[in-house]
Amino acid sequence: MKKTYILFAAIATMVAVSSCKKYLDVNTDPATPQDIESKTLTPPLFSQMSRGIGYDARYLGPVIQNWGYRTGAFVGDVHGWIVSSDAMGEIWRTNYYGLGANLNLIIDDATKTEQWNYLALAQTLKAWSWQTTTDYHGDIILKQAYEPNRYVFDYDPQQDVYAEVVRLANLAITNWSRTDGTGTVGKMAAADLIYAGDASKWIKFNYGILALNLNNQINKASYNPAKVIEYVDKSLASNADNFLVPHLGTNTVNANFFGPVRGNLNSYRVSRFIVGLLNGQYFTGTAGNVIDPRISTLITASNDGQYRGTIPGQGDPASTAAALPTAIANPWGSIGINSATPSPGAGGGKYLFKDNAPMPMMTYSEMQFVKAEAAFRMGNVSLAYQAYVNGISASIDFVSGLGNAITTTQKTAYMSSASVKQTAATLTLRDIMLQKYIAMYGYCFVETWCDLRKYNYGDGDTKGNNPYGGVFVLPTNLFADNGGKPAQRYRPRYNSEYLWNLTALKKIGGDKPDYHTYKMWFSEP
């Protein structure tokens, strides 16, 4: 990560070079000012968020078993890594290049012009980015990240990054609440593609970040479920508060990363795990006993109308010589297309896999399941049950709004079925976490991975809670470097860290072949 700030300024396409201002002063042209304004920098930041998550979901999606690759032993399916490659490093790039220095420029400009809402926005996105990046990579570069003229950048432990997220989110809440200064909703509305300058919604998003930050720490003595619930209650209040990054979807430049016009999921298939959740098998013990009304929107059936899924690490039987006639359909068939022939453009795909579909960064249903988990662990089962029901209901509404409309009759039938617990007394943590998995399918990749890791995949947490036991099955052919252990983190981006910052990386074991299996701070006691 050699000279991070200067390197970023040299390669960023969304901002003008600002580090050469003294040199440019001799030829300053009033018609083309060199100062960067916050309103100019802001809109591209949201696409950077979506881009980073989308790129890395190609590998993380198979790890968490949202989907699998069409052939066996794919590096994502078997929890592996690719030597000398930037693959799996897009969230890293987003944090340090796509967002990082641009957010610093907004902070400088907003402070100078007393636009506290823009300052708050930059602090919010920094908090989100640090949280996402550390949950994905573990130890990362925090304190020295933007110091100029450095050639080696030391890594900071994850607990320090967690503390910085809390600090930034609270600062952002304070600054979003300010009424002095020159910042107004009107000045921000056009640049803010998410909430159109609505400070109340941005404050809710910050409380959602705080809730996720603390709820990941269930194995820590610092875990405070009552505080998690407090944060959730101050966060997203309905689907109207969802953080959705928009896409025009007219070409490969402005389309959703998962849309058919970009073709990034052509070789992926739906997983057996999500099929087992949506066809009722993991809730009732019998596949097909209760069919989730979200199934036809979230995934697509094979050509014979049956829903099938890949076995982790084994691929799609249709890709082998011994393929069954009814095996999983065309490359798009099992993930995001309505028919056997993808249709590029804004009309192609379905749900979050359309070219013009938004990319959620946080949803109300996600927050309700966080609350349900915290309340259940606290022993308030009635509160947990209400949040659990809210989460399922909101997810069905969200899916219905972006896919095949789910009727009131269909929703009521499912909510009354054996796949949904009907009383607080029968509710289990397993019910909460498996329904949360469905609700976050196709977008909350890092958060889903946090859930799986804090419960040690199918082994359970430090208190014996094991919501994924018996249903989430790891591949039998884990990557050779893993030593039989599942992935716990992704390595820092190769191009910056392994080429320029290897000395610092070695201090945390980043040069070891099994580094990606080192457990996260948040998942350990």
Model pLDDT for residues 292-303, shown as the tens digit of each residue: 999 999 988 776
Angstrom CA distances, 522 to 131, 158, 219, 357, 461, stand at 12, 8, 7, 32, 11
What's the pLDDT score for residue 318?
A: 60
Give me the percent of the chain exceeding a pLDDT of 90: 77
Which residues, at least 6 apart from 216, have a Cβ–Cβ distance to it below 8 Å? 135, 450, 454, 522
Answer for the pair 228, 374: CB distance below 8 angstroms, yes or no. yes
Nearest to 297 by CA among 366, 398, 399: 399
Confidence of residue 317 (pLDDT cuts 50, 70, 90): low
Phi-psi region of 299 (alpha: psi -120 to 50; beta: other; left: phi over 0): beta
What's the pLDDT score for residue 265?
A: 87
Tokens standing for 275? 């099929």
CA atoms within 13 A on the CB side of 50: 27
CA distance 525 to 517: 17
Confidence of residue 404 (pLDDT cuts 50, 70, 90): confident
CA distance 234 to 254: 33
Is pLDDT at 311 greater than 80 in this prediction?
Answer: yes
What's the pLDDT score for residue 1?
A: 43
For each of the domains in the chain, give its residue range(s) and CATH number, in order of start: 4-16+40-197+481-523 (1.25.40.390)
- pLDDT tens-digit readout, 119-148: 999 999 999 999 999 999 999 999 999 999
Classify 67 as helix, strand or coil: strand
What's the pLDDT score for residue 303?
A: 67
Confidence of residue 35 (pLDDT cuts 50, 70, 90): low
Q: At what angle do helices 364-378 and 225-233 cross, to 10 degrees?
A: 150
Is pLDDT at 3 greater than 90 in this prediction?
Answer: no
- pLDDT tens-digit readout, 484-493: 999 999 999 9
CA distance 423 to 411: 18
Nearest to 310 by CA among 517, 483, 136, 78: 78
DSSP label of 138: S
What's the pLDDT score for residue 70?
A: 83
Of 44-58, 134-148, 337-351, the range with the lowest mean pLDDT is 337-351
CA distance 330 to 310: 14
Phi-psi region of 522 (alpha: psi -120 to 50; beta: other; left: phi over 0): alpha
Confidence of residue 231 (pLDDT cuts 50, 70, 90): very high
Which residue is associated with the tokens 């049950």? 385
pTM: 0.91
CA distance 401 to 393: 12
Answer for the pair 307, 275: CB distance below 8 angstroms, yes or no. yes
What's the pLDDT score for residue 263?
A: 86
Phi-psi region of 379 (alpha: psi -120 to 50; beta: other; left: phi over 0): left
Is pLDDT at 2 greater than 80 in this prediction?
Answer: no
- Mean of all residue pLDDT scores within the chain: 88
- pLDDT tens-digit readout, 161-213: 999 999 999 999 999 999 999 999 999 999 999 999 999 999 999 999 999 99
Classify 37 as helix, strand or coil: coil
Q: Which residue has the higher pLDDT, 301 or 324?
A: 301
Q: What phi, psi does 160 have (nearest 5°)?
A: -70, -35
Of 30-39, 230-239, 413-422, 488-497, the range with the lowest mean pLDDT is 30-39
Is pLDDT at 323 greater than 50 in this prediction?
Answer: no
- pLDDT tens-digit readout, 69-119: 888 999 999 999 999 999 999 999 999 999 999 999 999 999 999 999 999
Which residues, at least 6 apart from 426, have a Cβ–Cβ distance to it below 8 Å? none
